[in-house]
Amino acid sequence: MTTDRRHTDLVLRVFKELVAAGASGVAPGAVNARLRELGEPMGTWAVRGALTALEHGGAIVIDENTGLWHLADSRAKGRKSGTA
């Protein structure tokens, strides 16, 4: 596994952890803070790059109005039910 792929997978794992803990949207800074807590610090731009890669892969989407990221499937479910 390449370092970039490892970082992307790690960011996605932390992202899902934050959502499971109740975050309605995730900011890059929240991912950075959690990575530091886990002893896996990553630069801000590395996290932002991983988020962009995850968006391009269809795993997450950004709300351009708030700057918060959401799991792609949860946003789709919200739109279907009229809550997003």
The number of CA neighbours under 13 Å toward the Cβ of 16 is 9
Does the pLDDT value for residue 76 go beyond 80?
A: no
* Mean pLDDT of the 41-69 span: 96
Interatomic CA distance for residues 39 and 29, integer angstroms: 15
Does the pLDDT value for residue 52 go beyond 90?
A: yes
Q: Which domains, and CATH codes, for the chain?
A: 3-81 (1.10.10.10)
pTM of structure: 0.82
